[in-house]
Amino acid sequence: MEADPRPTRGLWPKNPVIYQIYPRSFQDTSETGEGDLRGITTRLEHVASLGVDSVWLSPFFASPMCDGGYDVADQTAVDPRFGTLDDFDALVARAHALGLRVMIDQVFNHTSDQHPWFQKSLRREPGFEDMYVWQDPRPDGSAPSNWIAFFGGAAWRWHPQRAQYCLHQFLPCQPSLNHRNPKVHDALREITEFWLARGVDGFRYDAVTSFFYDPEFRDNPPAGDTQARIPGPANNPFTMQRHDNDMLPNDCAAFARDIRDWAGPDQYLIGEINEGPKSIEVLRKFTGPDRLDAGYVVDLAERGVSGTVLSDMIARLGAPGPLAWWLSSHDQARHVSRDGDGSARDARLFAALTLALPGPVLLFQGEELGMTQSDLPFEALHDPFDRTYWPDPPGRDGARTPMVWEDDAPNYGFTSAAPWLPMICPPDGPADRQLSNEGSVLQFYRTALRKRGDLNLADGRIEVLLAEDRMFIARIVSVSDTVVLAVNLTDGPQDVPYAGTLRPALQSAEQPVSDQIAPRSAIWYHA
Ligand code: NOJ
């Protein structure tokens, strides 16, 4: 196995655990039914008490919220629904006082079509004409290429004002920035500097694999039935192309060096890698001492959690480190329902699996409570992606339902107004009930995170011993300990031949006293 060449960034642990907060759904203090920055500040103690290293805040910037905030209209302003810059400063101060670092999202691939840059570009104002990707129609009036947006449908929107097409790799309201225009990079660098001056400790970069594309706009070939097919639902035509020309990993990865230069050596930088079958190979291009610290890929969420997928990812990765492990986010159905039956038992199982793996880990708000996926009716959906694919939506809004904090408060203490999405409570109840129950999912996460630290698993090496679809056994060797991780995803007990001689360090469920592991459970053994 190769040595991990990354230096330690400033005061960051090498492989942190990062807790993702979706501001709209964390805590409301303004009686609007939507969360806000002050609300986050009031709940940071909960996050710190988990034992994570950092929070990552999904976008809270000025936005028409056509893509839940990933359509930014001003990258250096707080959207009034979330508060003010003073609220942000107070949040950072409180986080730092609690020993938490603060990462924020940076959406560099595109802006909102309401952004002043876009409005000026639309009017061809000098200096702004080429900030976005404008192209003339083909002689027959059709779009410059056959590229399809991530959310389905053509990636080109016709703008009569300029009599040209504009590229959008996501929603039509999210025009793509022209990364070949140095003025764009100057502006993005200034945005980075703005947030550095406000004390942030790291950045999560949205859609880093989409920044560069073929300058001649050549068509993508069909994916056919090949391995090149990007994972995803068959009802999204995006999966039907081979993305040879709309995503150029080498050019994008080279840009990761600029990102590192702008952010400086001490910031922790992580990128979202959307590259289908070559995800991990592409991730490796983006990461390194002079680039991003880590990236994350969608393999487990799209291909399903299994021993074979895990072992394939570990083999492709080589040395642990640059790949951040995660199971849930604001973009996928929650894993406890997607890969499990929504029970507290399955929530503990997946926690024991994720928190044993060497490398950085991303936790999504609410997973520490065992929050399940909500099956929302069409009328409740805000997300245009979910609405387009109804009745078979990707389930983004169903994963974004607000946090459940208290038993004896309206809307579980999230808001005193009507919550922006219907709320559901996980099997073990809201956070306060789980705190007073030693056997709850919340307590399990706290214990697992503490033991992950005690056993130095984050910086360990992993060696796969058994990888089957529903069974996974691996040895993790850290500076201080050797741990065997056994995961049983089947509904029956399974043999772990040497288990009888090993002492469990953590177990997600009660275990039979034998060389077996209980159904739907995971164990860490001291080895
Ligand atoms: C990835 C973000 O996580 C997702 O929520 C968003 O819709 C797209 N990028 C576009 O910004």
d(CA 383, ligand 1 centre) in Å: 11
Domain 17-109+182-212+247-452 shares a fold with domain 460-526: no
Nearest CA owner, ligand 1 atom 6: 70
| Catalytic pick among 275, 331, 339, 397 | 275
Measured CA to CA, the distance from residue 25 to residue 429 in angstroms comes to: 17
pLDDT of amino acid 1: 44
Q: Are 240 and 283 in contact (CB under 8 A)?
A: no
Average pLDDT of the chain is 95
* Cα–Cα distances in angstroms (integers) from residue 478 to residues 2, 360, 369, in the given order: 15, 15, 28
What is 460-526's CATH superfamily? Golgi alpha-mannosidase II (2.60.40.1180)
Model confidence at 202: pLDDT above 90 = yes
Mean pLDDT of all residues in 49-70:
98
| Cβ within 8 Å of residue 149, ≥6 positions away | 155, 168, 169, 170, 171, 172, 238
> Using a 6 Å cutoff on CB, does residue 170 contact ligand 1?
yes
Model confidence at 63: pLDDT above 80 = yes
Tokens of 41: 């500040």
CA diameter of the chain: 75
**Mutation test residue for ligand 1: of 21, 25, 57, 67, the one with most atoms within 8 Å of CB:** 67
Q: Where do the domains of the chain lie? A: 17-109+182-212+247-452, 460-526
Measured CA to CA, the distance from residue 343 to residue 371 in angstroms comes to: 9
Mean pLDDT of all residues in 509-524:
92
Measured CA to CA, the distance from residue 502 to residue 52 in angstroms comes to: 28
For 56-92, b/e burial (b = at least 16 CB within 10 A) is: bbbbbbbbebbbbbbbbbbbeebbebbbeeebbebbb
What is 17-109+182-212+247-452's CATH superfamily? Glycosidases (3.20.20.80)
Partner residues linked to 495 by β-bridges: 516
**Mutation test residue for ligand 1: of 331, 332, 386, 388, the one with most atoms within 8 Å of CB:** 331
Measured CA to CA, the distance from residue 70 to residue 72 in angstroms comes to: 6
Q: Are 84 and 60 in contact (CB under 8 A)?
A: no
* Cα–Cα distances in angstroms (integers) from residue 172 to residues 139, 176, 356, 397, in the given order: 23, 9, 41, 19
The backbone torsions φ and ψ at residue 212, rounded to the nearest 5 degrees and listed phi first, read -125, 145
Tokens of 450: 């503490």
pLDDT band at residue 273 using 50, 70 and 90 as cut-offs? very high
Tokens of 459: 């910086």
Nearest 5°: CA angle at 210, between 208 and 214?
135
**pLDDT tens-place string over residues 467-476:** 999 999 999 9
pLDDT of amino acid 498: 79
Model confidence at 231: pLDDT above 80 = no
d(CA 494, ligand 1 centre) in Å: 39
d(CA 235, ligand 1 centre) in Å: 19
Work out the number of other CB atoms within 10 angstroms of the CB of residue 437: 12
Partner residues linked to 486 by β-bridges: 473, 523
Tokens of 404: 């459940």
> Using a 6 Å cutoff on CB, does residue 22 contact ligand 1?
no
Model confidence at 494: pLDDT above 80 = yes
C-alpha R_g of the chain:
23
Mean pLDDT of all residues in 293-320:
94
The backbone torsions φ and ψ at residue 6, rounded to the nearest 5 degrees and listed phi first, read -75, 135
**pLDDT tens-place string over residues 128-177:** 999 999 999 999 999 999 999 999 999 999 999 999 999 999 999 999 99
Measured CA to CA, the distance from residue 204 to residue 519 in angstroms comes to: 36
Q: Are 384 and 171 in contact (CB under 8 A)?
A: yes
